[in-house]
A and B are shown apart, each in its own frame.
Chain A
Amino acid sequence: MIPELGHFALILALVISLMQATVPLVGAHRNRLALMAVARPAAQGQFLFLAISFACLTWAFVQNDFSVQYVAMHSNTATPMIYRITGVWGSHEGSLLLWALTLSLWTVAVTIFSSKLPEAFMARVLSVLGWVSVGFLSFTLITSNPFDRLLPAVPEGRDLNPLLQDPGMIIHPPLLYMGYVGFSVAFAFAIAALLTGRLDAAWARWSRPWTTVAWVFLTAGIAVGSGWAYYELGWGGWWFWDPVENSSFMPWLLGTALMHSLAVTEKRGAFRSWTVLLAIGTFTLSLLGTFLVRSGVLTSVHAFATDPKRGLFILALLVLVIGISLTLYAWRAPRLAGGGSFAFVSRDTSLLGNNVLLSVVCASVLLGTLYPLFLDALNLGKISVGPPYFEAVFVPLMAPVVILMMIGPFIRWKTDEGSRVAHQVVPGLVASVVAGAVAAFLIGPATWRTVLGLSLAAWVVIGSVQILVRRLADRPGTATSVRLRGIPRAWWGMWMSHLGIGVFIVGVTMVGGLQQSADLKMHPGQHALLAGYTFTLREVVDATGPNYAAARATVELTRGASPVATLRPEKRLYHAQQMPMSEVSIDVGPFRDVYISLGERLEDGAWIVHLFYKPFISWIWLGCILMAVGGVLAASDGRYRRLAERNASSAAVGQTA
């Protein structure tokens, strides 16, 4: 009964989304307020029914209703409650439902937080979001209904993929989807603006906070996903350039470019057609990512169930949504005037340069991800493209991005003198290269990678300090604390995000250059040495969990005579799927992680043990946190709220007059 309710709620949500897609659009076109006014209640009603539908599926999981096929495939009576709840989005059908729910949540957020938008514009935005929702809800209902019954019911379910039974997986998909799907708002704003032909500073200002918030979620989602890969997959790596990882990284790259391009469009009125294209492109990549993950055209460590019918449906959806958008772009964009002009030496140029570079990086990642598919489609053989390609392309393109990123804030908008900028920037750049090279030689065998990485990181730090000092020097006379408080949040957001990139680079460089690892065969009682630490395998005992049996090792970690930590890596066998899993144990520290993963048991009672020493690896995630916090600061800048209020009061004045 409950699953049928969920199914009906889903159908109702589709019907409402059709209304939300069509009626307000007609209203905006004919300028009928009554028709436009349908948009808001429709968006909120759609959310209500999707929430009911989602709750019903969750209930089926909680109640172990194995007459629902999706539940039977992904849950089990022994599965812990928390993983029964997160099992809802553990696979294809449920994660589509989560996609639709997330989209609906964003739509409702637009109706609440952008309530001061002109009625016709709002109607168009909600209509575009409605169309996207129609696409995804019909996809769910036609090809991937999570409420399909399995009759007769099976007595016991299959359990959730043990890889997904992890706290990281509880929050990773929702965060990632909030990011992915959040770019649909920027997309809807761009399409609405193209429809009206009003691509002005106001449009950019309305889009900015939405884009930034989506970017924050995506940043956090990717970071959590990479953290999960680090401690759950047991290989000690944190990024694998896997097609599924790439498909979340590509919208991030283009979304980063979009955020910066919107800033220029708002402040200077420039890059308008470029900004629109980035908004469409970012959302295209979000949809493309969904396609790549769901259709199975590429092999990936993310073993989702795949089905060619689903692939075809979502490809058709992609072609419709993006094809129409790009046709609209080709039709409307030529009418856009160029906007503010700017000289070669200007902040505008530095932002444009970085946007172009980020787009090129994104295109290279796309090429590498799809290259095996291209070759296969052209009958040129089967190959796989791995990290060597991506690293060879990524590093040389991203290094100038990082350099320019810190130079930009030194340059004035519109036009500046090259000699003035050089005078301010060159000493810092020289100091960074010296500092980076010295540090690289001090810490160990210096390679061009460590020198480059540490120099870039030093440049980010030195540049950040310089622009902060300059910013404070802008208002002489008052106390430093007053001046600090006078800096708007948006500026702090920019500063902190950029600093986060520097911290991130330190982590990547140090791990890449200095990590040590050993794969050993150890008997209980034996010692091993790595990176100055002594590892003692005390014992391996049997342990049982709720839905698995495990062998748990106790490893004592000492440095010299002093004990550091006791680590307990496990080798688990999950009952239902008979899937062995390595549960690593990590001693986390600010400057290094010590990471142990337990391998196979050998015939003679010895165990294979993988030991890793990973310097500065937590800085990778610290960097991501700084970037995300920076984004939150920027999006919460009071400016947007004040502008909203001012718009409201001017609207009120307009009405009384």
Chain B
Amino acid sequence: MKAKFLVPLVLFLVLAGFLGLGLTLNPRLVPSPLIDKPAPEFRLPQLENPDSYVSLADMRGKVWLLNVWASWCPACLQEHPVLLDLARQQVVPIVGLNYKDGRDDAIGWLRKHGDPYTTSVMDADGRVGIDYGVYGVPETFLIDQAGMIRYKHIGPVTPEAVRDLILPKIAELKRAG
């Protein structure tokens, strides 16, 4: 075996090493322009009680999660057990932003699958979703005491994401506050 014929193999293995490292990184962590910016204002009716409204100001002083969900979204069903589990631990309030959904469908869905939310608000026309840059459901935002968005999770929340990212960030924010 002459050394020069090994060059392609070595180059390829170096490349593969980098690709392997790349798998442990997340290129999507950076892009959201909303991170470390004030969360957009909203004032929306509660799902179960449409006469009473919830707004961003009501949550001031708390570290909380805003979870965008809909009854028509299969991926929401996928993350649902994770949210239920998180709700049982009572770490932070979880506000559900019921996105572009029918009220009866949404209530029925929660009855059937369980309700992890401290409260859910209805964003029937998706205006608030647009303010929050939602382009797919589910998405989850972590918002701090001062109403700043500190983390955004795109797609279904996984147990790993809760354990490795969301819970540590919550602990950090609570300490800071």
Please report A residues at the B interface, Cβ cutoff 8 Å.
69, 72-73, 150, 154, 156-158, 273, 277, 280-281, 284, 291, 295-299, 305, 308, 311-312, 315, 318-319, 322-323, 326-327, 329-331, 333-334, 370, 372-374, 376-377, 382, 576-579
Contacts and interface: CB of A to CB of B under 8 A. Distances in A.
A329 B11 CA distance: 14
A150 B9 CA distance: 43
Given A297-B27, A298-B27, A308-B23, A576 B72 contact: yes
Nearest to A373: B22
Contacts of A305: 155
B1 A330 contact: yes
Nearest to B99: A578
A326 B12 CA distance: 9
Nearest to A295: B23
A334 B1 contact: yes
A72 B136 CA distance: 15
B74 A72 contact: yes
B155 A377 contact: no
B132 to A, nearest CB: 13
Contact of A579 (B2, B9, B73, B135): B135
B75 interface: yes
Interface in B19-51: 19-25, 27-28, 30-31
A273 B72 CA distance: 56
B9 A331 contact: no
A-B complex: 3 closest residue pairs judged by Cβ atoms: A297-B22, A326-B9, A377-B21
Interface string B118-149: 00000000100100000110000000000000
B6 interface: yes
A602 to B, nearest CB: 15
B24 to A, nearest CB: 8
A334 B2 CA distance: 7
B73 to A, nearest CB: 7
Query: Size class of B's contact patch?
Result: 20 to 34
22 contacts: A69-B74, A72-B74, A154-B74, A273-B5, A281-B8, A297-B19, A297-B22, A297-B27, A299-B27, A308-B24, A312-B23, A315-B19, A323-B9, A323-B12, A326-B9, A330-B5, A370-B18, A373-B21, A374-B18, A576-B72, A578-B126, A578-B129
Given A73-B75, A374-B18, A299 B31 contact: yes
Contact of B27 (A69, A72, A372): A372
A299 B23 contact: no
Contacts of A579: 135
Contact of A156 (B15, B22, B27, B72): B72
A329 B25 contact: no
Given A73-B74, A158-B74, A305-B155, A373 B19 contact: yes
Given A69-B74, A73-B74, A158-B72, A327 B19 contact: no
Given A318-B19, A319-B16, A376-B25, 15 more contacts: A154-B72, A158-B72, A158-B74, A296-B27, A297-B25, A312-B20, A315-B20, A323-B16, A329-B8, A330-B5, A334-B2, A370-B15, A373-B25, A377-B18, A382-B27
B72 A329 contact: no
Contacts of B24: 308
A605 B172 CA distance: 47
B159 to A, nearest CB: 14
Contact of A377 (B25, B73, B100, B136): B25
Contacts of B136: 577
